[in-house]
Amino acid sequence: AALPRSAPHIPDTPFEAILADYCEIKGNYYLVAADRLSGWIEIKGVTRNSEASGTKGLIQCLRRLFSIFGVPKELSSDGVPKFRSQATTEFLRR
């Protein structure tokens, strides 16, 4: 993966900027999100073998995360397909 062209924005408040990954471990899916200011980590899971384990599960996890901490100004991920999907992109634009 290419490195960013400029230094990342330094957030002023908690959960203004987060790093996130959506991964599968032994059939369970998890959103792992880290606040760039404090380093706080949140993990949100999706029920095993659920219909919502793919992109729907990611959006469900993001919605829960945002309901607790608010919508971040910046969300960074490693670009896995579920983050790049049309459904996720549309959800994040709202």
pLDDT tens readout for residues 6-19: 666 789 999 999 99
54 vs 90 pLDDT, higher one:
90
How many domains does one find in the chain?
A: 1
pTM higher than the cut 0.75: yes
Mean pLDDT for 15-28 is 91
Instruction: Print the domain residue range for 40.
Output: 17-93
Q: Does 60 fall in a domain? A: yes
Query: How far is residue 76 from each of residues 17, 18, 49, 70, measured CA to CA in Å?
Result: 8, 6, 27, 16
Q: Does 38 fall in a domain? A: yes
CATH number at residue 54: 3.30.420.10
Q: Is the pLDDT of residue 64 over 80?
A: yes
Q: Does 9 fall in a domain? A: no
Q: Does 48 fall in a domain? A: yes
Mean pLDDT for 41-46 is 92
How does the average pLDDT of the chain come out, rounded? 88
